[in-house]
Structure 1
Amino acid sequence: MTNTPPDPRSSQRNALGFDEFIAILVAFATIGAVLFWAFSRRDSGWNFNVLPSPSPTASVAVPPATQIQPNANSNLNTVPPSAPPATVDQPTLVNPSPSPGAIPTLILPFPVAPAAPPQVQLSPSPNIQEPFRVVTPSEQKSTIPPPIAFNDVPNDFWASRFINVLSSRRIIKGFPDYSFRPNQPVTRAEFAAILEEAFNNKLATNAIAFDDIPENYWANPAIKQAINTGFLKGYPDKTFKPNQRIPRVQVLVALVSGLNLKEPTSADKTLSVFKDAKEIPNYAIGKTAAATANNLVVNYPDPNTFAPNREATRGEVAAMVHQALVRTGRLQPIQSENIVRSPQ
């Protein structure tokens, strides 16, 4: 009895062969491994560049993952929904060995500079007081008023600069009619009043009473001060003679005595500058030489003519008192051709 050969179409409906079963198993295992790895790496940003290159022997193609663009309203921490994978038995996975020539690509994170801490701008609190600052007061500069504009002292008057300096400091004053009367002689009482304003020394307690000075006399305080400070002296008969016109030589003797100026050793040599030196009284030779050596003598019109016994005018007294204040350092010197320079 002869057997009928098998129908070729029936062989296609038979059970899978061993090779086909192994191929299907490997395919499912690979798909499951890829899905497992993908879900475990979802927090790293779906970076597929770190996947190792598969062996050239692998023949199963893996479909590329669908890139999902999150919108502004979606939650970035939520994995987009997808169809659940089929349940597959976990096979034993064998890591394919990479090819000897392949070098894995190392991806380094982009360095991010640390953000600088925000600067806090502090506003001063109204309750916090500023530190105390020590301020050194600057030296107060004295303000000198302008000189008195006397109507009888023109700018080209020989003693105008001396008069202006003293009048601006109120050392000398004029008359109610705004005149100074520079050529008018000066009395002893008037000279005492000028000395009081110029040197302003403290009044001593031991005042000398003169028979010709009443207590209510207008120049009595100035006379007492001039006597006690050594500028002036009275006469042996206990008189002062306040209305006597003072000569030029007595003005210089008074200034040298009050300033305690030292007399030069050779008075004759010092006084040789004057043409009329022989007219100087004996009691005044040393004092006049001291006045000449200290540039106190001012002569007009001829600097070499002293005229010691001539009555001193108000202009001449102003010039000599000015030079005495220059000698004490209270005033700056003035250049004038009428100031007598002692011979060297």
Structure 2
Amino acid sequence: MTNMRPPDSESSPNNTLGFDEFIGILVAFLTIGMILFWTLSRKNSNWNFTGLISPSPTSSASPIIPVIPEQQAIPFILPGVKPTVTPSPTDKHTFLDDLFPQTLNVPPDEAWSKPEQPSFTPPTTSTQQSRVVTPSEKLPTIPPPIAFTDVPADFWGRRFIDILSSRGMIKGFPDYSFRPNQPVNRAEFAAILQQAFDKRDGGNSTNFKDIPPEFWAIPAINRSIATGFLKGYPDQSFKPDQKIPRVQVLVALVSGLDLKVRSSPEKVLSIYKDAKDIPKYAIDKVAAATENRLVVNNPEPQVLAPNQEATRAEVTAMVHQALVRMGRLQPIESQSIVTAP
């Protein structure tokens, strides 16, 4: 009888599970248990579990990071600043509220208090303090005064002559002289008045019997009469070549500007040493001229010399003062200008 090897026995179905299979089953049960636990304990929560599961398969080397939905950032609180710790009733509850019950739920707009920045308002410039002239505008220009050969720098009436000559109100002679001490006749005075106060043409006709039709000063004479500065004589004469006295210059200026004396004429005229020489018809006019600073006396301010022939320099100075009174010229300082008492 031949000895034969017994056949191999089949594997038993009750073999013990391996270690890996046991760990896998344990993890599966724990995962299911945790899901059931959170489901039962947070029935009323708004937690979304889909955020815990990656929508696409990942490799075992990359960990699954759960996405925390709608969680506001935890602000950084400076030391010494006490933020509001009361959660807003409208904030959504998440599982982090359970893990961190003391989390400060401060709205972003209230977590920080930005320091106030100083506001800067550019200064505004009033159009009344200073006026800017645009390039298209041109300021009025005044030409320099005429350099008369016979008016020295230290002459008492130099400033009056310079101001009026620079504005074309007075002129000199062809030899570049002014002749400041030369007397002025009535026709010449009418021409100065026309240039200084009203340059409009007065016409080429006159009713004065002593003025020929082609007389050079007819327009100026007519204009001076129309504006109330001068008058003719009762015999229908004008006497254009007559030298005009100082008192008539003052009377003409006061009449043309329609000035009135404001106080007692006698009190005003008491400043003059020769007040008794003033004609009676001119007392009020000369007093008004004195109150309005139209009188210019040189060399002695207290001597009026009313009946003395007026020189070209004196007429220029008095006309200047009349223009100052009208506001057309700026006043200047001169010891020759008389100030009323």
* Matched residue, 1:128: none
* Matched residue, 2:248: 250
Q: What CA RMSD, in Å, does the superposition of the two structures yield over aligned residues?
A: 3.5
Give the SS at the match of 1:19: coil
Code of the aligned partner of 2:65:
I
Q: Which one of 1, 14, 22 corresponds to residue 57 of structure 1?
A: 22
Give the SS at the match of 2:30: coil
**C-alpha distance in 1, partners of 2:338/2:265?**
15
Moved over 3 A (4+): 99-106, 108-111, 136-141, 201-208
Contact 2:203 2:222 in 1 (8 A): no
Contact 1:299 1:306 in 2 (8 A): yes
Consecutive unaligned residues of structure 2, counting only runs of 5 or more, are: 36-51, 53-62, 70-131
Deviations 1:71-92 (A, max 9, x none): xxxxxxxxxxxxxxxxxxxxxx
Code of the aligned partner of 1:257:
S
Give the SS at the match of 2:300: coil
Code of the aligned partner of 1:324:
A
* Matched residue, 1:303: 301
Distance 1:315 1:55, change over 3 A: farther
Deviation of 1:55 (Å)? 7.6
Deviations 1:155-201 (A, max 9, x none): 21100111111111110111111111111111111100000011016
Distance 1:188 1:100, change over 3 A: same
**C-alpha distance in 1, partners of 2:254/2:229?**
8
**C-alpha distance in 2, partners of 1:157/1:328?**
26
**C-alpha distance in 2, partners of 1:95/1:182?**
129
**Structure index of larger Rg:** 1
**C-alpha distance in 1, partners of 2:133/2:154?**
42
* Matched residue, 1:96: 28
Deviation of 1:109 (Å)? 5.2
Deviation of 1:98 (Å)? 2.4
Deviation of 1:229 (Å)? 1.1
**C-alpha distance in 2, partners of 1:176/1:196?**
21
Deviation of 1:99 (Å)? 7.5
**C-alpha distance in 1, partners of 2:31/2:327?**
110
Q: What is the number of residues matched between the two proteins?
A: 251
Deviation of 1:303 (Å)? 0.3
**C-alpha distance in 1, partners of 2:161/2:203?**
32
Distance 1:229 1:108, change over 3 A: same
**C-alpha distance in 1, partners of 2:203/2:158?**
37
Equivalences for residues 174-323 of structure 1 within 5 A: 174-200=172-198, 208-323=206-321
**C-alpha distance in 1, partners of 2:221/2:193?**
9
* Matched residue, 1:84: none
TM-score, normalisation: structure 2:
0.65
Deviations 1:204-251 (A, max 9, x none): 789751111122211110000011111011111211111111110100
TM-score, normalisation: structure 1:
0.64
| Structure 1 position 107 matched with structure 2 position 65 | yes
**C-alpha distance in 2, partners of 1:255/1:106?**
110
Consecutive unaligned residues of structure 1, counting only runs of 5 or more, are: 28-53, 60-92, 112-135
Contact 2:230 2:252 in 1 (8 A): yes
Distance 1:188 1:205, change over 3 A: closer
| Structure 1 position 17 matched with structure 2 position 17 | no
**C-alpha distance in 2, partners of 1:257/1:340?**
19
Contact 2:183 2:309 in 1 (8 A): yes
Contact 2:204 2:218 in 1 (8 A): no
Give the SS at the match of 2:209: coil
Contact 1:55 1:99 in 2 (8 A): no
Deviation of 1:106 (Å)? 6.1
Identity among equivalent positions (%) equals 58
